[in-house]
Amino acid sequence: MLSVSPAIIVRSSLEEMLDSLRRQDEEDKPRDLPPALPARPTSRARLPAVRRSLPKDFRIDTTVTSPSSISNQSSEKGEVRGPRVGSLGRKRNRELDFDSPYAMLPGKDYEGRSVGADAANFATRHKHSASLPKFNESEWLDNVGYFFKKKLCVWCRLPNGQWELGQIQSNSAENATILLSDGNVVDVTTEELLPANPDILEGVDDLIQLSYLNEPSVLHNLLSRFSQDIVYSKAGPVLVAINPFKDVQCYGSDYITGYREKFFDNPHVYAVADAAYNEMITDKVNQSIIISGESGAGKTETAKVAMQYLAAVGGGNDGVESAILQTSYILEAFGNAKTSRNDNSSRFGKLIEIQFSARGKICGAQIQTLLLEKSRVVQVAHGERSYHVFYQLCAGAPSVLKERLNLKTASKYSYLNQSDCLTIDGVDDAWKFQMLREALDTVQICKEDQEHAFEMLAAVLWIGNVTFQAIDKDNHVEVVDDEAVTTTARLLGCSIPDLRLTLSTHKIQAGKDSVSKKLTLQQAIDTRDALAKFIYASLFDWLVEEINKLLARGNQCTGRSISILDIYGFESFKKNSFEQFCINYANERLQQHFNRHLFKLEQEEYESDGIDWTKVDFEDNMECLDLIEKRPLGLISLLDEESNFPRATDMTFANKLKQHLNNNPCFKGERGGAFGIRHYAGEVWYDTSGFLEKNRDPLHSETVQLLSSCSCQLPQLFASNMLNQFHKPASQQIRASGSQKQSVGTKFKVQLFKLMRQLESSTPHFIRCIKPNKKQLPGIIDKDLVLEQLRCCGVLEVVRITRSGYPTRLTHQEFATRYGFLLVDDNACQDPLSISVAVLQQFDVLSDMYQIGYKKLYFRMGQIAALEETRKQVLEGTLTLQKCFRASQVRRNFHGLRKGVITLQSFIRGQNARKEFDLFVKLREQAARKIFEEQLRAVTHLQSVIRGWLAQRHYKYLQRMKKLTPDNVKQKPGREVSEVKEILQESVLPSNQEFQECLLEAEATVGDKEQENAALREQLRQYEMRWLEYEARMKSMEEVWQKQISSLQLSLEVAKKSIAVDKNTSPTRRVDGFPSPSPCYYDSEDTTSMGAQTTGGNTPIKFSNSNRESGAIREINGSLNAVNRLVKEFEHQKQNFDDDAKAIAEVKSPGRPNEELKKLKIRFEAWKKEYKSRLQDAKSKLNKSQVEKSRRTWWGGKKRKPRDLPSSKF
């Protein structure tokens, strides 16, 4: 522990620091002021005490510096342009451009890295870096002797410029002999040598861990990892991703879980996304993931991976995360195309802002787009393709859609077949179209809107097939009326004449009159192409707007978001036009944002906080940005100025650039219409052909009117949006671009500034994508190409400034709050600065490993890890002590509670036992009483039997005595009494012995009877079980009998009804169906006649008979009597059988009831059989009588068949 008072240490170190600052300020008085940047807010830490002297001119701003004040200060001091490389702080001052994207961000905190709670995480990640040796390239010449002496491995530059690893064999003063890894031996100068890292550092995760930081060492480390399919590496705060051009097994749900749960700590896009997500939740600050790199470096796929992780971590139940992921497929189809360098190149820039709720769940999203390359719709270079969606529509549309849109193959459309490249190797456009439709369904774009969008795509393709023919010598043209015009008009919903007139004429306003002018062939083609580009660009903007409407459905958004920027990469082709200029300008601005956060603001903070810092040189691209966007002599301003001149040409624009920009070191003019710009990634030559036309982006009013008159919904919407832009207030347009109509360049600049302001309001996370080779082949590394990209990205400078800088920084208040409790002495009365310094001194932190600023403490990498480890140990010890104390309290409380519970349980168990005992006593008393009563009954019964036996014995004895004593013998009374006594004595004496014998016999008899009773009870139980079975059988037999009896009753009822019917109808109706007279009726010729049908004709015949009719009636009556007897017999027998069955069921005799039932059943079956036969006889007799009656005529004779009747002729 320290023996010196902490207050004394603080005072002395602070005095030394302030004295050094005062001397530095006095030396820098004649120099320029630092560059004007947005003011930082004052720190929450306490300022140094008044007793400590500060520089006379030291002042902490309490107000935000406005842009006007900055410009005024700059104008007063004068503009002094210093060198761009390594010129920061007080040595350079530059006037802040009014159009700068940072001018609108007052009060923004531009600290380079997050501090506070995240310091522990940062220190833990780089804990092992503290012990690594540090190397400065400027000391190489001083240490070269050590390498020569130890004959260590070095990097050797060969005559072809390549770096090769070798080992020193021998050396002289200026030369050295090197044995290369391939076995060759070369002689080189010492200037061509660089130190190599030991084998133990080969393939490290973070380039900061390298002992010797030079280009070949960095390149070798990346290539070593890439050869193992490890495509991600760290370069300080920047993630370096090399495109493998193949599938790598490092993605999926398992890896997402691993990085989320901190199982993995190696570099990955998932780790960057997780860091952004955690900082957003912890610090409540918006985050941004900025992905940059050349075209084909894998930026789009990297953005997909980051979105996939955020969707998995912040996914909810409403499915918005899946809709966000599906937007990538939609935007790729409509905004990506095949170029000469990339099969899936983004031809627009996009910023996807994913919004989160307070619980960290995704609740919405917003998509911003930048500068869609419209010219690709109508013009495609050789070996390239237009946008993917055209080829997908032609290949994958269903037959119904193809027929309705009149779609043909891609080779039939002029806009697609001009490049001779219609397919991409390994890509199925038809399957991609199905994926597109599924994505549109996922983001809930209705089928009707999808059909309208496909109509617009087909219309664009058919517009390209519209042709013209000359009509005069001046090359004026008219539209050829063919299938292309007809289909285009039908798809747009306009008339064919209006379409032809719009494409071939142009109206010129002359005062109040308008004059139609015929267009030449080139003018007509430009008008046609302008219409196609406008429709496609409007369709793209409409699609993005619809997606934003559907994604902006979260009501729980807290304003916290993570933005993912995926923008087109830097491009340099053989012929570069206006589109490449805009793309490279966007990459320049993005590189400046990268420099600003990792170089400028980092070092500016060191200087403003008064720490001793040696600047790190880096390549600043502000001169290139000034060349492009500075007003009034910037390239975009000159382009707008030239575009406003009606007679200006591309050549006049090129001459104007040479005239005004020739002195700029980043500009180079050539003869003709070409000029060059030295970008951060290299020099690019642009051809001014088409610059003015593309910047103007003309669209005739006739085209807008044509779209307004269309019957389809989308063309009308596109036209109304364009008209709304035309009718904007002039003040807004002047503020936006300085003219009434924004040019494409100015509009893109405004969009880019808006994007940069949004990025400035968030904490950035950088991902640099590297393209390993230009052939897009897996496993191939072009070292020169990779090294060039590393230089352009500033990766080496980032590593240097991160390793030599102070990446961990905490305010005095934060440091004292976090580590103040580690002090042994009481520090309640000390200020945060004193506490902080006391902590550093207590733990013997070396003075060159940290610096104390006015507001913060700055630590080199890995230095805070020791404090974090000590803090962790103290907290763990405190937690252990608290755990033991709480455990002791809990155990004490538990034992007391347990004792009380046991006491309560004992009382309850005693009460329950007493209740059970009382119940047991009652039951035992009842059982004893019952046993006693049974025994008493048994004894009483036994006594009664014995008394009866004694009485019988005595009675027999009296009878015997009576027989022995004659009746005529009379005895004296006294004698009689004595004799009786003697007799009784004689009888009593033997009776006691007999009684004993009888008692034993009775007991034996009782035992036998008890056994017999037990056997009888068992037999009785068996009989009862059998009787239950018999009862079940009886019930089933009764049911059968009831059914049979019911059937017999039904038969009897039917018979009775039929007899009753015949009986009722016989007196009044004849057999043949005619009404018959009464039995006493006599026929007369005047009243009744009957015609008998014969073969010859009809002859009326008259008869009469009553005797035979009465005989038939008697027969029927006899039959009815027999039936009645059968009915009575049935009722009688039914009653008998029922009585017998009930008697058998009620008796329950121990005999054999089953035999009785069988006998009853046999008797019933016999009676049933007999009864059935008699019933059939009765029915047959009845039927016979009916038949006889029917065959008899009313006169008593039988009817003849028709063939037997005699024929009569009249």
**Active-site residue numbers?**
295-296, 300, 342, 345-346, 569, 571
Task: Say which residues have a Cβ less than 8 Å from residue 947's Cβ, sequence separation at least 6.
Answer: none
Please name the amino acid found at residue 251: Y
What's the DSSP call for residue 771?
-
Size of the chain, expressed as the number of residues it contains:
1210
In contact, 243 and 222? CB cutoff 8 Å: no
* Dihedral angle, C-alpha 1125, 1128, 1129, 1135, nearest 10 °: 180
For every residue of 613-657, DSSP letters joined together read: -PPPP----HHHHHHHH-TTTSHHHHHHHHHTSTT--HHHHHHHH
In contact, 391 and 429? CB cutoff 8 Å: yes
Sign of the CA dihedral 529, 535, 541, 544? negative
For every residue of 381-392, DSSP letters joined together read: -TT--SBHHHHH
Q: Which among 884, 827, 802 is positioned nearest to 129, based on CA atoms? A: 802
Task: Say which residues have a Cβ less than 8 Å from residue 89's Cβ, sequence separation at least 6.
Answer: 34, 35, 603, 604, 607, 615
Q: Which among 214, 200, 73 is positioned nearest to 128, based on CA atoms? A: 200
Sign of the CA dihedral 221, 222, 223, 224? positive
What's the DSSP call for residue 29?
T
Please name the amino acid found at residue 59: R
Omega cis (within 30) before 632: yes
Count of beta carbons in the 10 Å neighbourhood of residue 231: 23
User: Using a CB cutoff of 8 Å and minimum separation of 24, what contacts does 1006-1014 make?
Assistant: 1006/938, 1006/942
For every residue of 316-335, DSSP letters joined together read: -SS-HHHHHHHHHHHHHHHH
DSSP-derived pairing of the beta strands 153-157 and 193-195: antiparallel
Q: Rounded to whole angstroms, what are the CA distances from 1145 to 1018, 1141, 1160, 1196?
A: 22, 6, 12, 59
What's the DSSP call for residue 1088?
-
Measured distance CA(89)–CA(32) in Å, rounded: 9
What's the DSSP call for residue 820?
G
Measured distance CA(724)–CA(719) in Å, rounded: 9
Query: In the numeric block, which tokens belong to residue 63?
Result: 């107000």
Count of beta carbons in the 10 Å neighbourhood of residue 606: 23
Measured distance CA(410)–CA(465) in Å, rounded: 12
The gap from C-alpha 813 to its chain's centroid, in whole angstroms, comes to: 42
Three-state SS at 247: coil
Task: Say which residues have a Cβ less than 8 Å from residue 975's Cβ, sequence separation at least 6.
Answer: none
DSSP-derived pairing of the beta strands 557-566 and 287-293: parallel
In contact, 241 and 269? CB cutoff 8 Å: yes
Query: In the numeric block, which tokens belong to residue 826?
Result: 């009481």
Measured distance CA(294)–CA(784) in Å, rounded: 14
Q: Locate tokens 């789009």: which residue?
A: 300
Measured distance CA(719)–CA(516) in Å, rounded: 21
